[in-house]
Structure 1
Amino acid sequence: MQRFERDGLVFDVRDGGPPDGEPVVLLHGFPQDSSAFDRMAPLLHGAGLRTLAPDQRGYSPGARPSGRSPYRLREVTGDVVALLDAAGLGSAHVVGHDWGGLVAWAMGAWHPERVRTLTALSVPHPAAIGRAVLTSDQGLRSAYVAAFQVPVLPELLLRAGNGRALRQLLASSGLPGDAVERYVARMREPGALSSALAWYRAVPLAARDRVGTVTVPTLHVWSTGDVALGRAATEATRDHVSGPYRLEVLEGVPHWIPELAAERTAELVVAHTRTAA
């Protein structure tokens, strides 16, 4: 499977591993693409799992609608449902990092019948984040979300000097150099940066897209070196999961868990998928 369509949008997909393996959907975040899982996916394949890693809305060149409404959580979650339908899958294991993690949480809350297990990398349950913004340092950690709401200016700053500011931002956060260059190049494609920022600009619309309690088996992987997401929301996440839940903390690892802790994360995902057998 190389692509699928939804409402006239065309999404690119990396389909790997044994075709008859347990399916695992891998969802990337900002400003990544499906290559975020290049180090993890082969390890999952070696364990007999099939992976489907889409370039999400705004990242696939054929799926970059304008405006912010098309990037509401309901819409980007609907893309994952469409991927499962196109692949002929009633359900799959869902693994998401960063924004992909928020989509994974929404899948677990809104479409539990389509989710065999849920793995959220870095990102706590959105309700836990909302509470932590008001009660901890999470508000300061999330200040960039407010900055991204400004029209045009973030694009100008991040594009300046052939992406120099974005390159420096990613490198300073601990992302490996090869990934930095890959993602900066992606964000220089026509319409890519504005579409990626539209995910953040759709946040004020989130009141219509409340993510409730998750009932499916859930693994939450958080790293202590994450400057964007703190411990308060991480520890509060278990209050929003009624099904089997496990928190795994990676010491000293920055935000970029799929790239920097691929082996350990793959081990955790493989073990987690087997809990649903």
Structure 2
Amino acid sequence: MKQIQAGVLNVAYRDLGPADGPAVVLLHGFPYDIRAYDAVAERITAAGCRCIVPYLRGYGGTHFIDANTPRSGEQAALGSDLLALLDALKISQAVLAGYDWGGRAACVVSALWPERVVGMVSCEPGYNIQDIAHATRPAAPQAEQRLWYQYYLHGARGYAGLEADRDAFCKLLWQLWSPTWAFTDEVFLASAQSFHTPDFVDMVTHSYRHRFGLVDGDAQYAAIEQRLAKQPVIAVPTVILAGACDGVTPVQDEQQALRRFSGPVRRSILEGVGHNVPQEAPEAFARAVLSLSGP
């Protein structure tokens, strides 16, 4: 494990594979951590790529440099963190691959700073930039039911519940979101260690409140949020992976899934796979990355 100062964070990350290989950044989601990519990284580095696998803000060994920095989980912050990490590591271009929050960070950088991106792998919904201005529009009842945890975290009761028992809350989400994945307690607990940081609960609750317009963001990211509010298209080469058994993000209509991509894009639906695509289907995820990295 390495550490590097990048923007407002001291980032903990793994740096695997040949230093001169094509760069790939693997970005985990909520509530997961870098272990989601163990098997993916093994395959990618064997093919000659350099693999950077960071803990996102609020997770594991990544921490804020200044105690006064707002613990924001907004999308602009995640994208800014990723850009700062590329700068700190002096990586001019990379394949960005992620799901959930990590996929959102990859989408933000791909949309706003495409010159830094060789290609992107993003899991369903593929285009993962939030349309906050329209976040209060109701969805179909089945979709609303899947988002119970977000509404729960909007209030003090949800904050207290997550603080009181992070492991039970996050394990329940693993089970609901990946109903076909028979993960063991050992596998879950290996990742759950990363949720026991001073910033995790603040980060998570802020994220789910900000995306609904319930709280302000960090002022330093306001300009980025304004750009994201325009729902910019993504032009970089993209592979979208959709788990057919995803319990929180069901497979979209193809036209809807691809409508904000203007560059080369292809989409694969993975049967028997849930939300945590890299850990459930590492071979498919690695193939998608290598199809873009060209080692």
TM-score bracket for this pair, using the shorter chain length:
0.7 to 0.9
Aligned counterparts, 1:1-277, within 5 A: 2-59=2-59, 60-63=61-64, 70-126=72-128, 136=140, 137-151=142-156, 153-160=157-164, 163-174=167-178, 176-177=183-184, 178-205=186-213, 208=226, 209-210=228-229, 211-232=231-252, 235-274=255-294
SS at match of 1:252: coil
SS at match of 2:270: strand
Task: State the identity as a percent.
Answer: 26
Kept in 1, the 8 Å contact 2:22–2:50? The answer is yes
User: CA offsets per residue over residues 227-273 of structure 1, 9 Å max, x none?
Assistant: 11122366512110000010011012111111110112111221232
Cα distance in 2 for partners of 1:135, 1:129 equals 13
- Greater fraction helix: 1
Cα distance in 1 for partners of 2:41, 2:5 equals 23
* Change in CA separation of 1:156 and 1:212 when aligned onto 2, cut-off 3 Å: same
- TM normalised by structure 2 equals 0.82
SS at match of 2:39: coil
SS at match of 2:25: strand
Cα distance, 1:161 vs structure 2: 5.6
Cα distance, 1:119 vs structure 2: 0.7
Kept in 2, the 8 Å contact 1:128–1:233? The answer is no
More divergent stretch after superposition (129-138 vs 32-41): 129-138
* Change in CA separation of 1:268 and 1:160 when aligned onto 2, cut-off 3 Å: same
Cα distance, 1:186 vs structure 2: 2.2
| Gap runs ≥5 in structure 2 | 218-224
More divergent stretch after superposition (176-185 vs 134-143): 134-143
Cα distance in 2 for partners of 1:58, 1:75 equals 12
Cα distance in 1 for partners of 2:129, 2:254 equals 11
User: CA offsets per residue over residues 154-178 of structure 1, 9 Å max, x none?
Assistant: 2432354673343344245435223
Cα distance in 1 for partners of 2:174, 2:68 equals 25
Cα distance in 2 for partners of 1:39, 1:196 equals 26
SS at match of 2:272: strand
Cα distance in 1 for partners of 2:101, 2:196 equals 20
More divergent stretch after superposition (174-183 vs 21-30): 174-183
* Change in CA separation of 1:67 and 1:90 when aligned onto 2, cut-off 3 Å: closer
AA at the equivalent of 2:121: T
Cα distance in 1 for partners of 2:149, 2:253 equals 17
AA at the equivalent of 1:242: S
| Gap runs ≥5 in structure 1 | none
SS at match of 1:231: coil
Two-structure CA RMSD over aligned residues (Å):
2.8
More divergent stretch after superposition (70-79 vs 213-222): 70-79
AA at the equivalent of 2:150: V
AA at the equivalent of 1:239: R
More divergent stretch after superposition (130-139 vs 248-257): 130-139
Kept in 1, the 8 Å contact 2:235–2:263? The answer is yes
More divergent stretch after superposition (164-173 vs 219-228): 164-173
SS at match of 2:244: strand
User: CA offsets per residue over residues 53-84 of structure 1, 9 Å max, x none?
Assistant: 11111114423867877322222111111111
Kept in 1, the 8 Å contact 2:120–2:238? The answer is yes
Kept in 2, the 8 Å contact 1:120–1:221? The answer is yes
* Change in CA separation of 1:171 and 1:142 when aligned onto 2, cut-off 3 Å: closer
* Change in CA separation of 1:236 and 1:68 when aligned onto 2, cut-off 3 Å: farther
